[in-house]
Amino acid sequence: MGTATFWWRARSISVGVGSDWRLYEARIQKRGIVVSTRRRSSSLPTLIVSSMPYEKELAAAKKAATLAARLCQKVQKALLQSDVHSKSDKSPVTVADYGSQALISFILERELPSEPFSIVAEEDSGDLRKESGQDTLKRITELVNDTLASEGSNSFSILTTDDVLTAIDNGKSEGGSVGLHWVLDPIDGTKGFVRGDQYAIALGLLHEGKVVLGVLACPNLPLASIGSNQQHSSNEVGCLFFAKVGDGTYMQALGGSTQTRVHVCDIDNPEEASFFESFEAAHSSHDLSSSIAEKLGVKAPPVRIDSQAKYGALSRGDGAIYLRFPHKGYREKIWDHAAGSIVVTEAGGIVTDAAGNPLDFSKGKFLDVVSGIIVTNQKLMPSLLRAVKEALNEKASSL
């Protein structure tokens, strides 16, 4: 039997001719890859692959995250303008959270119909299916349909409440080390969302347990740097960061078309570094971060912002270090770091746990990390790891 050769990143794979190679051709085309067939002889067809991996998935993810950001912006605007909203009323953020998840699930499934569909996400529809959740479900459905209509395409049919419930429940996947799994935080930084501050729509894709692409939509993050005192002529707000493995990290205006490749800063002197940490003290130990900064000789005060917008800001060099040390007993979820981690690493940075181990996204919904998560550039990582180890040892000895 003859063979067919698939050229893929300078590697060849031999498969049988006839129905076998046609099956492989069909499988490759399902991945959104352009395939042409050339026959060297009557028994030796050659398939030439002419597209980059995950291109179609990235386009779908950018579209989904951008539309979800539009939905969230609408809800946040109404929330901030409301005179009757109280801090105990969580309904607006609930509507935005569920609406974002439903919308992203719907777009991804629609744009990638030939792929097995799996999302690991934060929400499920249990509360919305109860009698007490019916009004909220109707508001979510209206909001999703309004957002789809604003996309300007007539190809979307009106979604029913059952469609929305189904889309939300697509997020029940457990993830793991086999196959393709989307990883979604529909609103990362809900407290920032409620305050009118930073939040992000964070969408990543796992393939065989590895993060292969990530998109961060940050509706309130300025396009200009937030980490320097330089004067900028643009006050435009709203960023979309995106990256896929081996292809770098890019930023563009939310909903815009012009994209710019970004890189982490190249600072090698810790005294010149600035760092990010969570706005909420409940999310990370500010005292521990302060101790580490002191050991490094960092002089600038920390920049405290909500959500994975920190990953985006660090990827373009706004700051040099991101420290996250959750309180004892807290388990990190993969949707809090999947998209952000590849955005930083493809921009030249490093993301590890506090012991310097790479993050492992292959074990389901949770990350098993040692003590915390640290993010910086390659030049600062050795000194940062030493400072972290010293600070953690001092903390342990004081208990």
Each residue's pLDDT tens digit, 127-172: 999 999 999 999 999 999 999 998 876 677 899 999 999 999 999 9
pLDDT for 187: 96
Q: Is 248 helix (H, G, I), strand (E, B) or coil?
A: coil
The ranges of the chain annotated as CATH 3.40.190.80 are 270-398
Which residue of the set 94, 141, 147, 190 is catalytic? 190
**Average pLDDT, stretch 220-241?**
78
5 is catalytic: no
190 is catalytic: yes
Report whether pLDDT(359) > 50. yes
Q: CA-to-CA distance for 91 and 297, rounded, in angstroms?
A: 44
Report whether pLDDT(362) > 80. yes
- In one-letter notation, the amino acid at residue 18 is G
DSSP string, 314-380: HHTTS-SEEEE-PPTT--EEGGGTHHHHHHHHTTTEEEEETTSPBP---SSSEE--SS-EEEEETTT
Question: Phi, psi at residue 196, to the nearest 5°?
Answer: 90, 15
pLDDT for 280: 59
The CATH code that applies to domain 270-398 is 3.40.190.80
227's tokens: 């980490």
146 is in an annotated binding site: no
187 is in an annotated binding site: yes
Which of 85-99, 265-279, 361-375 has maximum average pLDDT?
A: 361-375
302's tokens: 């920390």
The ranges of the chain annotated as CATH 3.30.540.10 are 55-262
Binning pLDDT at 50, 70 and 90, where does residue 93 land? confident
The CATH code that applies to domain 55-262 is 3.30.540.10
How much of the chain, in percent, has pLDDT values that exceed 90?
A: 63
Report whether pLDDT(175) > 70. yes
Binning pLDDT at 50, 70 and 90, where does residue 289 land? confident
122 is in an annotated binding site: yes
pLDDT for 261: 98
Q: Is the dihedral of CA 303, 308, 313, 319 positive or negative?
A: positive
Binning pLDDT at 50, 70 and 90, where does residue 54 land? very high
Residue 324's contacts (CB-CB under 8 Å, 6 or more residues apart) are 277, 278, 283, 284, 372, 373, 374
Which residue of the set 66, 97, 249, 318 is catalytic? 97
Report whether pLDDT(14) > 80. no
C-alpha angle 160/162/164, rounded to 5°? 75
Binning pLDDT at 50, 70 and 90, where does residue 273 land? very high
Binning pLDDT at 50, 70 and 90, where does residue 22 land? very low
